């Protein structure tokens, strides 16, 4: 089972260890990162140099007393230098973005791909417990969080700190300690206020996010169950439930907006007081003759350079906290260990004849309920063995154990004498073709859904599989033929049509071992007979294990095994089991009576 994790953003502290998890992905482009950082420093040096040029321009104009020659020689040259430095600032910043952009995009690509592969490697138990919508959001938010964190750490936080340090150093070196002191005091107050207020606001953000998720969940759930809503005329009930969620969202957003007002207002107040104090000090020094008019302009420019970036601090701080939490959710997926995995010395499965042995196996999903108890039987090469019995007594579980969706608790399952626990999962599953009871298709064309059984197969092989599965007559009735898109999870097709696609997909895989799990349960009698004929044709050279509810589909099986309460109750051919007049015979009789009565 996967670790229990809340979807709420646990953002009460910075998860800086996430940086350590991301760092290996940056190493691949370390030279590019260093170049990007170099251009970032150049951009900030140019930015800090701009106020000095502006100072010299103003002083040049002031001291020239508007002398025409001086005005042309001194200030114009400085104005040109000012334009060049400002252009350099922008160009260096753009080069930095281009260099680092590829690093960010490649890192996100690699991390997302690794998470995707890891999820496919997790066992069936995890995927039965997962919530697909939440999982998709974790991946999406994690990727966005990585992008935000990298860009704002490199392009906002670090440059701002670098620029503030450089400006305060200049103020301290060139002017009185008063300017540097006011700047430091204001920055410290701004940061403290922003952090404290943002932490206070987190609860309102969480309430808004929770209400938003709840309303979206209910809306999507209601729309997915559109027909059920209509069957029970519950449109008003669904609307009222949705509106209740929207009301909670509205209240939470109002609290969030008011708290944001308090944050922005407080930040603006701190900045206004600091700017006013520094401008008053600069004006006083100019009046006393200790500073020139150019110095006054320089101080004003530096104030803008210090405090304007700080306006984003509250936003950046809040978003970085959220990003770190989202990235942590993403990396937590990578920390989940699959229960089913290859042994260290696992070898490729070598299928010679396809004989399957179930050797005294025991299995339970949890300790409270035993599903399979001491079951032993063999399916010989080329043999067709049917597993029948009441629902919920372990028939489909045997298929899942053979496919290694789960591992047996005791005993072993062997193919051609090879314990399936000691062979690679890929080679095992490559050797087994499954036609499941509940077929789920991709939202693509019928043709591509069939080809999915063997992506490298030719068009001719796909058409052959379609014909063997008796899909061709149905496809001829469709306006777009094999190019017909089946819809999400194949919802545009009927149950029987989806099963035929699944059968064609298994045919094109051409495995030595076939498993049919209630594979004709959704077919009418005519289609069922056609499919059974196709089964007999394609399984001539394969070992077949058939899990059946309708006994009429397995009368030709070489052997029938009746599973009852997780144990083998009866075993034999169809005729032999009828002669026993036991559980199988009683079930056969009951199904015959149901067919006659209907």
Domain boundaries, the chain: 16-174, 351-431+512-522+540-598, 438-510
The CATH superfamily assigned to 16-174 is ABC transporter type 1, transmembrane domain (1.20.1560.10)
pLDDT at residue 418 in the model? 93
User: If you ran DSSP here, which 8-state letter would residue 364 be given?
Assistant: -
pLDDT at residue 523 in the model? 63
Residue 429 host element (H or E)? helix 425-430
Q: Return the bridge partners of 415, or none.
A: 356, 418
Strand 372-379 and strand 356-363: the pairing is antiparallel
Strands (E), 390-468: 410-415, 418-419, 432-435
Sheet holding 418-419, edge to edge: 372-379, 356-363, 410-415, 418-419
Choose among 449, 361, 346: nearest CA to 402: 361
pLDDT at residue 60 in the model? 65
Q: Which residue's structure tokens are 């169809």?
A: 574
pLDDT at residue 61 in the model? 64
Residue 390, token pair as written in the block: 């009441």
pLDDT at residue 420 in the model? 93
Residue 240, token pair as written in the block: 């009222």
Strand 384-388 and strand 567-572: the pairing is unpaired
Q: How many Cβ atoms sit within 10 Å of the Cβ of residue 557?
A: 21
Q: Which residue's structure tokens are 């309430």?
A: 207
Distance CA 269, CA 411 (A): 74
pLDDT at residue 10 in the model? 41
Which residues have CB under 8 Å from 438's CB, separation 6+? none
End-to-end CA distance of the chain: 45
CATH class of 438-510: alpha beta
Q: How many Cβ atoms sit within 10 Å of the Cβ of residue 86?
A: 15
Residue 563 host element (H or E)? strand 559-564
**CA–CA distances in Å: residue 233 to residues 46, 194, 242, 526:** 68, 51, 16, 36
Q: Are 16-174 and 438-510 equal in CATH topology?
A: no
Choose among 170, 187, 178: nearest CA to 298: 170
Choose among 417, 525, 530, 526: nearest CA to 469: 530
Exposed, middle or buried: residue 579 (CB in 10 Å: 0-12, 13-18, 19+)?
A: exposed
Residue 330, token pair as written in the block: 């993403």
In the CATH scheme, what is the code of domain 351-431+512-522+540-598? 3.40.50.300
Alpha helix locations (H) across 175-234?
A: 177-224, 226-231
Which residues have CB under 8 Å from 52's CB, separation 6+? 298
Choose among 387, 379, 386, 375: nearest CA to 355: 379
Are the C-beta atoms of 453 and 465 separated by less than 8 Å?
A: yes
pLDDT beneath 70: ranges in the chain: 1-21, 26-27, 54-55, 58-79, 82, 123, 126-138, 153-156, 311-314, 318, 322, 325, 489, 519-528, 530-531, 534, 537, 595-598
pLDDT at residue 4 in the model? 37
Distance CA 459, CA 335 (A): 41
């Amino acid at each position: 089972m996967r670790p229990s994790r809340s979807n709420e953003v646990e953002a009460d502290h910075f998860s800086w260890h996430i940086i350590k998890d991301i760092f290996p992905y940056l190493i691949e482009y370390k030279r590019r990162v260093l170049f990007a950082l170099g251009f970032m420093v150049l951009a900030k040096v140019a930015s800090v140099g701009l106020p000095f040029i502006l100072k010299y321009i103003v002083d040049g104009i002031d001291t020239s007393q508007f002398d025409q020659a001086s005005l042309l020689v001194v200030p114009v040259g400085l104005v040109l230098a000012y334009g060049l430095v400002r252009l350099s600032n922008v160009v260096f910043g753009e080069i930095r973005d281009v260099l680092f952009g590829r690093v960010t995009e490649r890192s996100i690509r690699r991390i997302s791909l690794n998470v995707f592969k890891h999820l496919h490697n997790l066992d069936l138990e995890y995927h039965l417990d997962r919530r697909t919508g939440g999982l998709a959001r974790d991946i999406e938010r994690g990727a966005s969080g990585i992008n935000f964190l990298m860009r704002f750490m490199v392009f906002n936080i670090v440059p701002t700190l670098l620029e503030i340090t450089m400006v305060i150093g200049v103020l301290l070196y060139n002017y009185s300690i008063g300017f540097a002191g006011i700047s430091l005091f204001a920055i410290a107050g701004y940061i403290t206020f922003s952090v404290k207020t943002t932490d206070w606001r987190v609860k309102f953000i969480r309430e808004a996010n929770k209400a938003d998720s709840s309303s979206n969940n209910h809306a999507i759930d209601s729309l997915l169950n559109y027909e059920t809503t209509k069957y029970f005329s519950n449109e008003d009930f669904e609307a009222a439930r949705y509106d209740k969620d929207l009301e909670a969202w509205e209240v939470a957003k109002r609290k969030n907006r008011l708290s944001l007002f308090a944050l922005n207002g407080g930040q603006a107040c701190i900045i206004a007081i600091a700017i006013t104090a520094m401008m008053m000090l600069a004006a006083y020094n100019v009046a006393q003759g200790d500073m020139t008019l150019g110095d006054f302009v320089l101080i004003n420019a530096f104030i803008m350079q210090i405090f304007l970036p700080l306006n984003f601090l509250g936003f950046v701080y809040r978003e970085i906290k959220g990003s770190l939490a989202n990235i942590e959710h993403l990396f937590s997926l990578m920390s989940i260990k699959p229960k089913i995995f290859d042994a260290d010395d696992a070898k490729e499965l070598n299928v010679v004849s396809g004989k399957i042995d179930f050797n005294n196996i025991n299995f339970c999903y949890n300790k409270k309920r035993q599903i399979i108890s001491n079951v032993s039987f063999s399916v010989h090469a080329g043999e067709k063995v049917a597993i029948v019995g009441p629902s919920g007594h372990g028939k489909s579980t045997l298929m899942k154990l053979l496919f290694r969706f789960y591992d047996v608790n005791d005993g072993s399952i062997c193919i051609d004498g090879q314990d399936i626990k000691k062979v690679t999962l890929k080679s095992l599953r490559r050797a087994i073709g499954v036609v499941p009871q509940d077929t789920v298709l991709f939202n693509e064309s019928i043709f591509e859904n069939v080809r999915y059984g063997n992506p490298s197969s030719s068009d001719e092989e796909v058409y052959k599989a379609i014909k063997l599965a008796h899909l061709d007559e149905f496809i001829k009735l469709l306006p777009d033929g094999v190019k017909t898109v089946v819809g999400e999870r194949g919802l545009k097709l009927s149950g029987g049509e989806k099963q035929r696609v699944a059968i064609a997909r298994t045919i094109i895989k051409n495995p030595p071992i076939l498993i049919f799990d209630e594979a004709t349960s959704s077919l009418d009698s005519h289609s069922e007979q056609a499919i059974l004929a196709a089964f007999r044709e394609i399984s001539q050279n394969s070992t077949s294990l058939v899990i059946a509810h309708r006994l009429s589909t397995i009368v030709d099986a070489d052997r029938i095994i009746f599973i009852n309460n997780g144990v083998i109750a009866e075993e034999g051919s169809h005729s032999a089991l009828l002669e026993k007049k036991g559980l199988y015979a009683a079930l056969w009789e009951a199904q015959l009576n149901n067919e006659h009565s209907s």
